[in-house]
Amino acid sequence: MAISELTGGYSPRLDGEDAEHVRILADTQQELPPIVVHRPTMRVIDGMHRLRAAAARGNTEIEVEFFDGTEQEAFIRAVRDNIKHGLPLSRADREAAVEQIVRSHPTWSNRSVAEATGVSPPTVGAIRKRTTGKTGQSNVRVGRDGRARPMSGAEGRLRAASVISEHPNASLRDVAHAAGVSISTAQDVRRRLRRGEGPLPDRFSPKDPLPTVDTAQLLATLRGDPSMRFTGTGRTLLQWLGVCEIWDDHGRILDTVPAHCVATVAILARRCAQSWTSVADELDRRGHAMQ
């Protein structure tokens, strides 16, 4: 494609391109690999040095590989590609990338962020803690396998109980991995269930409030689950749950309700709330029945 059509880059390099590296690439006689371009914005994800080198050679076109995704995903792809090949990212570059990713993807586990940026999980944890005051933290983590796992001890135990009920012969390691809990917690839950007890110790009150979660991220995770996406009933449920996404803007919408419709809308809203409460209660009952 024409170099003139490209509009900049998603480079994670704090100091921009290295002029000496560009000169070396421009002087080489070898054909350079295609650069990666974000199709929606026409910005370069990976290959800014190659782009500068091509321009220095006097080329007007360059071979590209297109990437389709969000701008946040494009940045993560840029980081991943730059730690794999070419001129290495500095530690400062990688730590700055960590800070940006924990802000844009607060539910990603430390290991997921570490894998994408080339730093250690403890480093991610320290940076996450440092940025918490600016971004907040979700009580849900999405691991490298794309599965959302609760950070709440109570929810983790309930999830472990569900896994054990569905797969009674699963190893403790498999239960712990699936539920996002430690092996010792999985073992304790299994022992409790075998004794006919519930999975929660006394210190967990059944009246504890639900942990704060990023509903948009949870919904995105469900939408990416093949068992939901590729069944008719799953898609219908996702459409129902998608209605929840509008409520951040409910004030503006409610301001437009005509005065003569307010009472009717209120009745319907309460009926919808009752229906969703019934759905939640029924799912809770089914979850407890599997324990």
In this structure, what DSSP letter does residue 46 have? E
Pair type for strands 35-38 and 64-67: parallel
pLDDT digits (tens, 9 = 90+) for 13-67: 888 888 899 899 988 878 888 999 998 899 999 889 989 899 898 888 999 999 9
Phi and psi, residue 257, nearest 5° = -70, 125
Q: Which two tokens stand for residue 108?
A: 């990603």
Q: For residues 76-94, b (16+ Cβ closer than 10 Å) or e, as one string?
A: bbbbbbbbeebbebeeebb
Cut 0.85: pTM above it:
no
pLDDT at 135: 39
Cα-trace Rg, the chain: 25
C-alpha–C-alpha distance, residues 283 and 10, integer Å: 43
For residue 167, give the amino acid letter.
Answer: H
- DSSP bridge pairs for 67: 38
User: Can you list the residues of the chain whose pLDDT is less than 70?
Assistant: 132-152, 202-214, 244-249, 287-291
Inter-residue contact 146 to 136 (CB < 8 Å)? no
Distance of alpha carbon 6 from alpha carbon 62, whole angstroms: 10
Helix (H, G, I), strand (E, B) or coil at 184: helix
Residue type, 99: E
- pLDDT score at 37: 92
Rounded Cα distance, 280 and 87, in Å = 52
C-alpha–C-alpha distance, residues 86 and 76, integer Å: 16
What pLDDT score was predicted for residue 152?
A: 58
Instruction: Give the residue among 121, 27, 105, 120 at the shortest CA–CA distance from 71.
Output: 105
- Percent helix, strand and coil across the chain, each to the nearest 5: 60, 10, 35
* Residues 6 or more apart in contact with residue 270 via CB below 8 angstroms: none
